[in-house]
Amino acid sequence: MTEQDDRTPETSARWAVPPGTLVLAGTPLGNRGDATDRLRTALATADVVAAEDTRRVRRLAADLDVRIAGRVLSYYDQVEAQRAPELVEALRAGQSVLVVTDAGMPSVSDPGYRVVEAAVNAGLPVTCLPGPSAVTVALALSGLPSDRFCFEGFAPRKPGERARLLAELANERRTMVLLEAPHRVTAMLEACVEAFGADRRAAVCRELTKTYEEVRRGTLGELVEWSRDGVRGEITLVIAGAEPASELDADELVRLVEQEVASGSSKKDAVALVAAAPGTPKRTVFDAYPRR
């Protein structure tokens, strides 16, 4: 073994939350066996534990056979902004602050960003204990390309706002990961069919790492029909990116624009509609059919 190899186990065993440091810690998505040793140590040694749900973090600690010795305070979406200065002051005083959410990684569609921003702006140290994340677990299980992806979090609840977001993503080439509530899954999938087409590949991942974990793969059209019977549990949706389209020649672009005009669109709107199609550069359309 190298000298570094000899030191690693000893260093790990002695690890504790550093004084005056903000620590983000990933927590299990549902299977307590996914908790890391450093999470256990952090829960036991942090001066302040800022939790999305104080009852859940105490239950998690009990399940892990850990006693939280520090001060526990709530840190959920509605109080995140007002709590951040208080946590920064604790850090300035030399206290260690641990941030945990109900499941997964803080600041990834969960509270955490504001206190990280405040600590960074104050020049205070911030570190992270890697752990479970529904985003990467679902991506790995989806069967879709994972070399490049984007995370969009929860889509807007209002149909119009959701449709606008998905329209913006229609030409996205990377695999997309979104979160959704179970009672809105069908509506979300229907909106995706409208924006991306029924043949776009996707996967609905539910109850990840839990007893009833399920990954349903297929086209968006197939997944809509499957979801109509009702879907339960925590949902992560993974959608394939848009396929590259071959660039159209000028004559074909003109034909498409004229087709839109014949359907009732203004020339300006027709050019914009054709330019919005995958693989069609706007400049090319404008040059082929100048706006008047």
Looking at residue 278, the DSSP 8-state letter turns out to be T
Phi, psi at 73, each rounded to 5°: -135, 155
Q: Are 100 and 106 in contact (CB under 8 A)?
A: yes
More confident residue, 268 or 196: 196
Going by pLDDT thresholds of 50, 70 and 90, the confidence category of residue 253 is confident
Residue 270: pLDDT band by 50, 70, 90 thresholds? confident
Q: Would you state the pLDDT for residue 7?
A: 35
Structure confidence at residue 279 (pLDDT)? 57
Alpha helices in 98-142 (DSSP H): 113-121, 134-141
154 in Cβ contact with 180 (< 8 Å): yes
Tell me the domain boundaries of the chain: 3-132, 135-239, 250-288
- The answer to whether 152 touches 165, Cβ cutoff 8 Å, is yes
For the chain, give the mean pLDDT.
Answer: 89
- Of the two residues 57 and 262, the one the predictor is more confident about is 57
Helix (H), strand (E) counts: the chain = 12, 10
pLDDT of residue 84: 96
Query: Do 3-132 and 135-239 fold alike per CATH?
Result: no
Alpha helices in the chain (DSSP H): 3-14, 37-45, 54-63, 80-92, 113-121, 134-141, 159-169, 185-196, 220-227, 250-262, 267-275, 282-288
Checking if the pLDDT of 246 tops 60, the result is no
Q: Looking at the domain covering 3-132, what would its CATH class be?
A: alpha beta
d(Cα 236, Cα 175) in Å, to the nearest integer? 13
| Residue 8 pLDDT greater than 60, yes or no | no
pTM of the full predicted structure? 0.77
Please compute the mean of the pLDDT values over residues 131-143 and round it to a whole number.
Answer: 95
- pLDDT at site 5: 43
- Using one digit for the tens of pLDDT, what is the confidence trace for 172-192? 999 999 999 999 999 999 999
- Is 210 a residue whose pLDDT tops 50? yes
The CATH class, in words, for 135-239 is alpha beta
pLDDT at 217 over 90: yes
pLDDT over 90 for what percent of the chain? Answer: 75
* Torsions phi, psi for 266 (to 5 deg): -70, 165
The one-character DSSP state at 19 is T
Give the integer Cα–Cα distance in Å for 96 and 243. 48
pLDDT band at 245, cuts 50/70/90?
Answer: low
Do the beta carbons of residue 157 and residue 213 sit within 8 Å?
no
DSSP letter assigned to residue 122: T
- Helix (H, G, I), strand (E, B), or coil: what is residue 236? strand
| 234 has pLDDT over 80 | yes
> Which of 20-24, 94-98, 101-105, 251-255 is the least confident region?
251-255
